[in-house]
Structure 1
């Protein structure tokens, strides 16, 4: 169940970054229509493991872009 959810959300994140360029974690949550930090980080972890993202920390948020 978690794998399906993570894969689905990872796809939404990839699409949002492909269209919008670099986005913050808050912007990504809005784009993938989730309120859960857990869901966001589950999907980001999936994409990070696949080596598809650049992630940096900016103040109290993350800044994410495609490699």
Structure 2
């Protein structure tokens, strides 16, 4: 069940990032309507494992962009 949730969250994050040059964690959570940090990190982990995104730190915040 958690695997299915991770995949769904990854899809929401991917949709939020699609067509952008990248977004911060806060921007992604707002665009994808994610309420908890754990949901953000669960979906992000899926995308990182699949080599779909790159991450960096910008002014102390996670910045994510599609590869």
Q: TM-score, normalised by structure 1?
A: 0.91
Q: Which has the higher helix share?
A: 1
Mapped partners of 1:14, 1:21: distance in 2: 12
Q: TM-score, normalised by structure 2?
A: 0.91
Counterpart residue number, 1:16: 16
**Structure 2: 5+ residue runs without aligned partners?**
none
Query: SS of 2:29's equivalent?
Result: helix
Unpaired segments ≥5 residues, structure 1: none
Structure 1 runs (4+) deviating above 2 angstroms are: none
2:15–2:32: 8 Å Cα contact kept in structure 1?
no
Instruction: Kindly indicate whether the alpha-carbon contact (under 8 Å) linking 2:54 and 2:65 is maintained by their aligned counterparts in 1.
Output: yes
**1:60 aligned partner:** 60
Give the corresponding residue for 1:32: 32
What number of residue pairs does the alignment pair up? 67
The Cα RMSD (Å) is 1.0
Deviations 1:21-54 (A, max 9, x none): 3100000111111120101001000000000101
